[in-house]
Structures are given as C-alpha cells and as structure tokens.
C-alpha cells in the first residue's frame, strides 16, 4: 500500500474499532456487535454469514480445491472493572492511544485481521483461501463461540488467532484443566471430638498438589502448573465437624501432556473424588517449520509459548496466535491500544500472508 492507501485504511480501522467499543458486548450478549460486523462486511459487497453471534466470510474467489486459512478473533469482552476512571465504552482517541473496553483484547486484533482480509478479498490466483471469522464467547470459553461455528465452516487447514502478543509468534499455548475434588468424612460435635473431619482428610491431597511436580517440562511453556485455588466445607458452624470438603485445583498444562493424562495422574495419587469441569481447553502447538511460523520468522518475529488460553485451544488444526497489543493490558482498567499498534498489526498480517498466499 502507498502512503495514501495506508492513511485511508488506518482511518477506517480506527473508526470501526471505535464503533465496536461503543457497543457493549459482554460474553453471550454480543448480538449488537455481530450486527455491526455483518453490516460492515455487507457494505463492502461481501457475502457474509451468521451463526448465533458469530460472523464469517470467505474471499471472493474461494476455491474448495485449495487449503483454507482461518483469520479469527473475538468480539466479546469481559465486564469492566470498578477501577475504571473513564467511560469504558467511550472509544476516544487521546494522543497516540485509543481507549475503551476490548480495545486491546481483542478489538485491535479483530479489526486488523478484518482489514487484512479486505486487502486480499478481491485478489485472484491465491495459493490458499482466506476465511475471516469474528466469534463470540471467547472470554468464557463458551459453547456458542468458535466451537459451535467450526462445524458450519469449510475444512480449515491452518489458522491465525488474533490476541494481543505484541505481534510476536505464540506458537504454543497452555491448556486449562479445572478440577473439583470432593472428600467425604462424618459429621460430629466438635466439643465431643466426634465424627471424621473431612477438612483434615483433604489436607494430604492438598499437600500432594502443592508438592507434586510433573516430569515433562516444555522448552516453550515450562512445567505444568498446578494450584489449589479454593476450599469450602458443607457448613459454617464453628462447632460442627464437617462431613464433606470440596477444593478446586487450577492446572495449566504444557504441550507435553494431554488433559486426560494429567487427570489420570492426579486421580492415581489423591484420595478425594476428582471431577474435571471440562476437557475442552487443550494445550496446543504449531510446528516451527509450519509456513505461517516460517513467514513470521522471516519478518524477524520471535517465537514463544503463551501462558494464557484462547480459542486456539478449541481448534483441531495448526494455529498461530498473533496480534497487536500487549497481553498485560488485557482485562485492566482504562484499557487502550496504541494507534501505531493497530496500523502495524495490519501491515504485519499482510506481509506475513503475502509469503503464504
């Protein structure tokens, strides 16, 4: 693009991101932002589709005989924290920053991928198809987001998921496994030293969780991280020995283990009844010699392992996580994106895909 084209694209991208920010789009409440994105694509003469609150479209000269690359990010947000000092939905530009809820996570990535899709939309004789998808419920890993959309789409060969990575290459991502552990005892009166204290019975299991270290360590993601994050008993009376105890374990899994393997190891080593909340959010890895990764490395980008979980975990094909913004700003008060980050995001996506397409 020449300087004039760059200015037009950047202005349009900023204005669309502002419009997106100004519409509240909490997870499972994204209907209005889905309307906005659908109308925008249609205004460009693009045949766009909708499934629930998910919007998608393919390039004009889509060829089912060619592999398809998914360009995906989400348009839902968390709720604003009470620490905000400004309107989270103002979408104002001040100096070199655009403020607003979801500006960094992941509005800038979404808009940058959308304008990248527009850049290639009319081009003929591409080596791959492009499929743009703006999806819902990412922040809650909901079933109505990318997981519900994938069965509606053509076969996907690989994807780019837009999340704030400073435009570096997140080639690996931790999986998430949350466990509820239930330990049973027997109620009794504390003054008479009766019963079987379920809280005490849970302590060896909790101590095992504290001390245990998984054998396999990832070069990109490090060791599996296991933390006990909550505990409660069935009653709050000070004089009753609790008959049951429930504690929660948060596990961040590297790519060396499946969630099922981690679950089996824990069940084999503790006495409590272990119930996983989900086995959906798997760890993931894209090969270092994959064309998308190699294209990013040609641009001087760095590969790393991401400690956070995204919709990448729900995709059964190679996915590169990459986007403008900084993960440290996600879910923080007075969230913002630098205008330069949005512009560079568009340019970098285009340069990366030029090598593949």
First to last CA, the chain: 17
- Tokens at residue 124, please? 């003929």
For residue range 254-278, what is the model confidence (pLDDT) as tens digits? 999 999 999 999 999 999 999 999 9
As a whole number of angstroms, the distance between CA 355 and CA 357 comes to 6
pTM: 0.90
- Look at residue 8 in the predicted model and tell me its pLDDT: 67
Q: Can you state the angle between helices 339-356 and 108-121, rounded to 10 degrees?
A: 40
- Look at residue 10 in the predicted model and tell me its pLDDT: 82
Whether 34 and 136 have beta carbons less than 8 Å apart is answered as yes
- Its CATH class, for the domain covering 3-173+283-356, is alpha beta
As a whole number of angstroms, the distance between CA 298 and CA 352 comes to 8
Place of tokens 């509820």: 180
Give which of 352, 350, 345 is closest to 98, Cα–Cα: 345
Place of tokens 């999340």: 163
The residues pairing with 251 across neighbouring beta strands, listed in sequence order, are: 177, 226
Domain ranges, ordered by start, for the chain: 3-173+283-356, 175-276
Per-residue pLDDT of the chain (357 residues; tens, 9 = 90+): 666 667 667 889 999 999 999 999 999 999 999 999 999 999 999 999 999 999 999 999 999 999 999 999 999 999 999 999 999 999 999 999 999 999 999 999 999 999 999 999 999 999 999 999 999 999 999 999 999 999 999 999 999 999 999 999 999 999 999 999 999 999 888 888 889 999 999 999 999 999 999 999 999 999 999 999 999 998 777 888 999 999 999 999 999 999 999 999 999 999 999 999 999 999 999 999 999 999 999 999 999 999 888 999 999 999 999 999 999 999 999 999 999 999 999 999 999 999 999
Helix or strand run (H / E) with residue 74: strand 68-74
Q: Which CATH number fits domain 175-276: 3.40.50.800, 3.40.50.720, 3.30.70.360, 3.50.50.60?
A: 3.30.70.360
Whether 275 and 332 have beta carbons less than 8 Å apart is answered as no
- Look at residue 3 in the predicted model and tell me its pLDDT: 66
Strands 158-161 and 319-321: parallel
Whether 116 and 343 have beta carbons less than 8 Å apart is answered as no
- What are the distances in angstroms from CA 309 to CA 68, 150, 208, 283? 24, 18, 25, 8
- Look at residue 93 in the predicted model and tell me its pLDDT: 97
* 307 CB-near residues (< 8 Å, 6+ apart): 174, 221, 252
DSSP 227-261: EEEEEEES---TTEE-SEEEEEEEEEE-TTS-HHH
- CB count, 10 Å around CB of 201? 18
């Amino acid at each position: 693009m020449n300087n004039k084209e760059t200015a037009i694209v950047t202005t349009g991208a900023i204005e669309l991101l502002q419009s997106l920010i100004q519409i509240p789009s909490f997870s499972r409440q994204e209907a209005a932002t889905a309307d906005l994105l659908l109308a925008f694509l249609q205004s460009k003469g693009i045949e766009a589709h909708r499934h629930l609150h998910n919007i998608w479209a393919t390039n004009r000269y889509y060829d089912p005989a060619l592999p398809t690359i998914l360009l995906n990010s989400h348009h839902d947000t968390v709720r604003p924290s009470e620490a905000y000092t400004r309107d989270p939905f103002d979408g104002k530009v001040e100096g070199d920053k655009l403020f607003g809820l979801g500006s960094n996570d992941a509005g800038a990535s979404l808009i940058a991928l959308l304008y990248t899709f527009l850049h290639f939309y009319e081009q003929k004789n591409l080596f791959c198809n492009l499929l743009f998808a703006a999806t819902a419920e990412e922040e809650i890993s909901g079933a109505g987001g990318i997981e519900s959309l994938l069965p509606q789409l053509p076969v996907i060969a690989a994807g780019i998921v837009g999340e704030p990575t400073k435009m570096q290459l997140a080639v690996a991502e931790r999986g998430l496994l949350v466990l509820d552990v239930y330990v049973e005892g027997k109620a009794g009166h504390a003054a008479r030293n009766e019963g079987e204290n379920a809280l005490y019975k849970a302590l060896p299991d909790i101590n095992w969780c504290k001390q245990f270290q998984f054998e396999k360590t990832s070069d990109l993601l490090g060791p599996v991280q296991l933390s006990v994050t909550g505990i409660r008993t069935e009653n709050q009376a000070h004089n009753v020995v609790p008959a049951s105890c429930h504690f929660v374990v948060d596990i961040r899994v590297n790519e060396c283990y499946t969630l099922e393997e981690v679950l089996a190891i824990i069940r084999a080593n503790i006495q409590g009844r272990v119930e996983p909340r989900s086995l959906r959010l798997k760890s993931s890895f894209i090969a270092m010699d994959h064309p998308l990764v190699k294209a990013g490395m040609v641009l001087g980008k760095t590969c790393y392992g991401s400690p956070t979980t995204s919709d990448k975990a729900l995709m059964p094909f190679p996915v590169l996580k990459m986007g403008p913004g900084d993960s440290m700003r996600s879910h923080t008060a007075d969230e913002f994106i630098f205008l330069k980050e949005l512009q560079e995001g568009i340019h970098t996506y285009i340069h990366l895909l030029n090598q593949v397409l």
